[in-house]
């Protein structure tokens, strides 16, 4: 597999600087959604790079440092749970993606985006379904976003230890719902994700 096929195609079409964009945390019941934008040196393979969902936490942590070291530029952005409730998770995800791309110091000509929906950037875009397993730039972005979000949830766990955020990272697990039953909703929960639960 050529990890840089999409990057090469973009360059062949006249785009000089290519960034990959991905998000983490669309599904959880609590905490922000994160997005990352990464510009990698073309053809410089980072050993072990893969879709963040296919990697262990330990491997993601190692790759996080490698990506930051090797990247031409990167930016990680997040949108909090209150904004998610205000504008919905899809728009909040797009906002995080835009903020990540706009936060790059090296300005890209095109963004390769994981998925099939455009976040409406101010530069050219190409959406790629399962892009995090097809493009090196998107895979790198997926790792930066995922690790950043997981680390943020570990901090939330210290603030709200009763919810066990370190264990479930905010996702709607059995344990998470048991803690909600016991302690109610916290200030970092996404109320729009809990309408059915709160309505019972």
Domain 5-155 CATH assignment equals 3.40.50.1860: no
pLDDT at 75: 98
Q: What is the mean pLDDT of the chain?
A: 96
Please say if the pLDDT value at position 8 is more than 90. Answer: yes
pLDDT at 151: 97
pLDDT at 88: 98
pTM of the model: 0.95
pLDDT in tens, 89-106: 999 999 999 999 999 999
Q: Where are the domains of the chain?
A: 5-155
pLDDT at 51: 77
Question: Is residue 155 helix, strand or coil?
Answer: helix
pLDDT at 200: 59
pLDDT in tens, 151-179: 999 999 999 999 999 999 999 999 999 99
Give the confidence band of 45 by pLDDT, cuts at 50, 70, 90. Answer: confident
User: Is residue 1 within 8 Å of residue 104, measured between CB atoms?
Assistant: no
pLDDT in tens, 98-145: 999 999 999 999 999 999 999 999 999 999 999 999 999 999 999 999
Please say if the pLDDT value at position 48 is more than 80. Answer: yes
Residues in the chain: 200
Q: Strand pairing partners for 33?
A: 79
In angstroms, the CA 44 to CA 34 distance is: 25
Please say if the pLDDT value at position 1 is more than 80. Answer: no
| CA terminus-to-terminus distance, the chain | 49
- CA–CA distance from 168 to each of 114, 124, 171 (Å)? 24, 36, 6
* Mean pLDDT of the region 36-46: 92
């Amino acid at each position: 597999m050529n990890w840089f096929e999409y990057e090469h195609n973009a360059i062949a079409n006249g785009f000089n600087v290519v960034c990959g964009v991905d998000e983490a945390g669309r599904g959880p019941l609590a905490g922000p959604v994160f997005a990352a934008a990464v510009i990698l040196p073309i053809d410089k393979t980072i050993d072990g790079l893969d879709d963040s969902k296919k990697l262990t936490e330990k491997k993601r942590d190692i790759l996080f440092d490698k990506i930051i070291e090797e990247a031409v530029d990167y930016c990680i952005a997040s949108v909090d749970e209150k904004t998610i409730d205000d504008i919905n998770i899809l728009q909040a995800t797009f906002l995080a993606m835009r903020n990540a791309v706009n936060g790059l110091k090296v300005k890209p000509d095109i963004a390769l985006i994981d998925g099939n929906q455009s976040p409406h950037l101010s530069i050219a875009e190409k959406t790629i379904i399962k892009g995090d397993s097809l493009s090196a730039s998107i895979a790198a972005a997926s790792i930066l976003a995922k690790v950043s979000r997981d680390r943020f949830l570990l901090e939330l766990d210290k603030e709200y230890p009763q919810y066990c955020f370190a264990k479930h990272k905010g996702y709607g697990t059995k344990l998470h719902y048991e803690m909600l039953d016991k302690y109610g909703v916290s200030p970092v929960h996404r109320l729009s994700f809990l309408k059915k639960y709160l309505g019972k």
